[in-house]
Structure 1
Amino acid sequence: MANPDDYHAYSVREEQRRAADEVERRREEREHQEEHRRRDAAAWRCREGGRKVYPDDDVRGTKAVPGGLCDICRHRAEEQAAAEVDARLDGPLGWIRALRSGGR
């Protein structure tokens, strides 16, 4: 009668565990590669910066618009638009308004 606690039985169980772990590792790797392929297929190039943009990029809490700008160029455009609004509001005598309103 075989002892289930002997070295041979332990070796067999350990080999089965290693094989199962390897199968799981390969499955996870395939899933990771497939996800990478799907994400890459959905990407586009930024019109301005040429960077690759992924639809699920959400660095600043805003979703990328398909075919649109990357997060960096979008942020730069927002800053530029805000600066233009400030310049229009300030006008040639903007510093006077700034003094009256307590400075900006």
Structure 2
Amino acid sequence: MALVFAKDVGPVAVRTRMREVGELARDHWRGAWDGDGHVPEGEKPDGCRDYDGKAPLLATALKQLAGHGPHGPVWWRCGRSVWQSLADALDNPDDVHAYNIRSTARRQAREAELERARHEQEERRRRTEAAKWVCPTCERYAYPEAGLTPGGECGPCLGDRRRAAAEAVQDQEDQPPGGGIFGRRRRT
């Protein structure tokens, strides 16, 4: 439905009348909001308006219509805050069709992110496999990690060697001076 205010009463009075008529007819043009029930973490709530059984209510002033024509930005649609062209005023950017487009875009973005993460993980695995070597002590595969020298011993063998060296030092420190049970006397 389109209303054209023919009497030139000034822009403020025309906008006031448009808003008042829009408020009185709200139940006939405003769609029912249907929001997302569950919003995934990190996403904003979304939803759409169901305009079934509703008709858009447009308004303009005859003076604007004469100055810009019916396809210019002369239409005010109830529930909106800007002047629009006829095509924009009749569009429902918050209807179920627009919601489905946004929902599909979100799903595709999530799938692309998962695919990117899978590729990164596969690339890390491939680089790790390419960098492995055979441990010269136990002949098992060794993989690059902090503290290992490529081509050297694996982590378990290196750990065993370090523990054995630490135990040998500890055993030597636990021995009394002089080597015997009572030790040797030192001459001064």
Matched, 1:14 2:98: no
Number of matched residues? Answer: 91
**Aligned-partner Cα distance in 1 for 2:92–2:182:** 95
Instruction: Show the counterpart of 2:160.
Output: 76
C-alpha deviation, 1:51, in angstroms: 3.2
Instruction: Show the counterpart of 1:102.
Output: none
Q: With the length of structure 2 as denominator, give the TM-score of the two structures.
A: 0.42
Q: With the length of structure 1 as denominator, give the TM-score of the two structures.
A: 0.71
Q: Which has the larger radius of gyration?
A: 2
**Aligned-partner Cα distance in 2 for 1:36–1:25:** 16
**Aligned-partner Cα distance in 1 for 2:97–2:134:** 58
Q: Show structure 1 runs of 5+ residues with no match.
A: 98-104
**Aligned-partner Cα distance in 1 for 2:104–2:132:** 42
Residues 30, 88 of structure 1: alpha-carbon distance in 2 compared, 3 angstrom cutoff: same
Task: Determine which structure has the larger strand proportion and give its number.
Answer: 2
Q: CA RMSD in A?
A: 2.3
SS in 2 for 1:48: coil
Task: Determine which structure has the larger helix proportion and give its number.
Answer: 1
**Aligned-partner Cα distance in 2 for 1:18–1:38:** 30
Instruction: Show the counterpart of 1:40.
Output: 129
Q: CA deviation digits over 1:65-84, x for unaligned, max 9?
A: 11111121111112223334
Identity of aligned residues (%): 37
